[in-house]
Amino acid sequence: MKLKLEDENRFITYQDDPVIQKRRWIILIVLNLFTFMSTLDGSIVNIALPVIAKRMDLTVAEAEWIVTAYLMTICAAILFFGKLGDIVGKIKVFKWGMIIFTLGSLLCGFSFSLPLLLGSRLLQALGAAMTMANSQGIITDIFPTTERGKALGLIGTFVSLGSIAGPSLGGFIVSGLGWEYIFLVNIPVGLIAIAIGWKVLPADRTKLKVLIDKAGGLLFPLFIIALFSGLLLGQQVGYGDMRIVAALIISAIVFVIFLFVEIRKPEPMLKLTLFKNPLFSLSILCGFLVFVANFCFNIIAPFYTQSILNLTPSHAGLLLMLFPIVMVIVAPLSGALSDKIGSELLTFAGLIVMVIAQVGLARLHSGSSIILVGSWIGMLGLGSGLFQSPNNSLVMSKVPKTQLGIAGSINSLVRNMGMVVGITVATTTLFGVMSNLAGHRVTGLVPGRPDLFLSGMHVVFMTSASICLVAAALTGWRLWSAKRTLRREHLRSR
């Protein structure tokens, strides 16, 4: 991360360069724009699937691959691009990711058949993976430690905003303009961000002189494809199907082989030594659990608001927007506060608030008032906002500067895997409860039986509350350990 100046016999970092420091908030805006768009495109398509399926004459199962192909590609490629960023430069990879994502978005908007749309989505996902894998590393490189929590908090806000705001924002775009515009809206924003980024993003100063890990680069995507295919197809045909069982077994075997290969390599794609730091590992795990819980809400809430409360899509969208709105307000404040008082207490408080909100959502019914529903949704946004920014800061602050790219990609990977696992947990639990009560296999809403859905919804939200409670217990242990360490150091100093 050091560059020898030609005119001065000294070394400087990004944080010592006054020109870069003057531009750091503009750089953050560019990073946030692509973070928001790439994350948004993982969830915004959900609400457009019925329209796309009707236009292209697709089955529901075929249409779902428009969403899952995007998420699978990101998860499969993100570690590779994180490592590539450490080798050739995080900013260079991010810049090319901006171009590829914008081009993919343009092609998606003009794709009028499933093969073309899937191909365009794969290209778009590669660009998204390139930007996601390196944005947090760039921030950690450029921002001083006194502002790092605030900066990571803002990017964490846009990550969660993109993942949660998709259904509500997509509803307005599809209703007013058409499904193509959920992709085409990225074009003007992307071009502006590219123009600004090419001007303000500095040259890379951190590069590792190592070879690309080809074995890891092949094994990890194979693991992701086998795992996601098993999880997502299992919802349609049942997890007892031998093909699904085989896919999950293959994913487990490939993952074990991947770990064995990575342990033996001197410069692996996934630096497993990072996980020897308990704070890093615990923060990554808690981040994963929170995204699982949030996506349980993201899947269930639109059905509850529209099918049970009988709200219109636009009114339901406005109600669900309370989550990202509250989060946008709270997360930057939480990030800034973590720079002053530390991150452990804030992450613990955020998780406790999320547990309370999830339990509140589990008590809703068909006669619940809009004010009560909105209060619990807003509280969930409050808890998530308190948690995300300090947790991102904890993850990135425990990593050597030469490994910021791979650490950022790990953080983004577990976030995207959390989305997929959250979808799987929510739908499997919901339809499992409904099928048990109905006495036959249920894979959708049953007309005239809102009680079936509500029973399943209650179990889903109690499950997500339990997931948040596990994360809170782990974070509470981390907070207690940190305080105990401080007390020991204080006693020694005396």
What DSSP assignment string belongs to 201-263?
A: SPPP---------HHHHHHHHHHHHHHHHHHHHHHHH-TTSHHHHHHHHHHHHHHHHHHHHHH
Stretch 75-102: mean pLDDT: 87
Q: Long-range contact list for 369-378, CB < 8 A, 24+ apart?
A: 370/309, 370/319, 373/305, 373/309, 373/319, 374/319, 374/322, 377/301, 377/319, 377/320, 377/322, 377/323, 378/322, 378/323, 378/326
* Mean pLDDT for the stretch of residues 234-238: 69
Grouping H, G, I as helix, E, B as strand and the rest as coil, residue 12 is strand
Angle between helix 60-88 and 90-109 (nearest 10): 160
Q: Which residue has the higher pLDDT, 4 or 240?
A: 240
pLDDT confidence of 345, banded at 50, 70, 90?
A: confident
> Do 412 and 133 touch, CB atoms closer than 8 A?
yes
Cβ atoms of 413 and 79 closer than 8 Å: yes
Local confidence band at 160 (pLDDT 50, 70, 90 cut-offs)? low
Would you call 180 helix, strand, or coil by DSSP? Answer: coil
Tell me if 302 sits within 8 A of 320, measured CB to CB: yes
Is a pLDDT exceeding 60 seen at residue 5?
Answer: no
CB 78 within 8 A of CB 129: yes
User: How many Å apart are CA 155 and CA 392, to the nearest integer?
Assistant: 9
Residue, of 141 and 106, whose pLDDT is higher: 106
Q: Which two tokens stand for residue 322?
A: 């309370």
Report the percent of the chain where pLDDT is more than 70: 85
pLDDT given at position 10: 43
| pLDDT tens per residue, range 105-134 | 999 999 888 889 999 999 999 999 898 888
pLDDT score of 60 more than 60: no
Q: What is the pLDDT of residues 273-293, one digit of tens each?
A: 777 777 778 888 888 999 899
**106 or 443, which is more confident:** 106
Q: How many CB atoms lie within 10 A of CB 393?
A: 30
| pLDDT for 468 beyond 90 | yes
Q: Are 339 and 150 in contact (CB under 8 A)?
A: yes
Q: How confident is the model at residue 329 (pLDDT cuts 50, 70, 90)?
A: confident
Residue for token pair 């075929």: 62
Residue 8: per-residue pLDDT: 34
User: Distance between CA 73 and CA 53 in Å, rounded?
Assistant: 21
CA contacts within 13 A on the Cβ side of 319? 24
Closest CA to 384 of 347, 420, 409: 347
Confidence at residue 464, expressed as pLDDT on a 0 to 100 scale: 94
* Dist. CA 29–CA 24, nearest whole Å: 9
Average pLDDT over residues 379-394: 85
Asked if 81 and 97 touch (Cβ cutoff 8 Å), the reply is yes
pLDDT at 68 over 80: no
384/440 Cα distance (integer angstroms): 37
Tell whether the model's pLDDT for residue 6 goes beyond 50.
no
- What confidence tier does 9 reach under pLDDT thresholds 50, 70, 90? very low
Q: What is the DSSP string of 42-73?
A: TTGGGGGHHHHHHHHT--HHHHHHHHHHHHHH
Mean pLDDT of 450-467: 92
Distance CA 136, CA 257 (A): 29
What is the Cα–Cα distance from 473 to 437, expressed in whole angstroms? 33
Predicted confidence band at 360 (pLDDT cuts at 50, 70, 90)?
A: very high
Question: In this structure, what token pair is assigned to residue 145?
Answer: 């430690």
Residue 265 pLDDT class (50, 70, 90 cuts): confident
pLDDT on residue 12: 64
| Residue the block writes with tokens 């983004």 | 412
Helix, strand counts (H, E) of the chain:
17, 2
Provide the pLDDT confidence category of residue 403 given band limits of 50, 70 and 90. Answer: low
Q: At what angle do helices 114-142 and 145-176 cross, to 10 degrees?
A: 160
Per-chain mean pLDDT for the chain? 81
Q: Are 74 and 414 in contact (CB under 8 A)?
A: no
Residue 355 predicted with pLDDT over 50: yes
Please tell me the distance from the alpha carbon of residue 303 to that of residue 320, in angstroms, as a whole number.
11
Give me the residue label for tokens 């996506």: 295
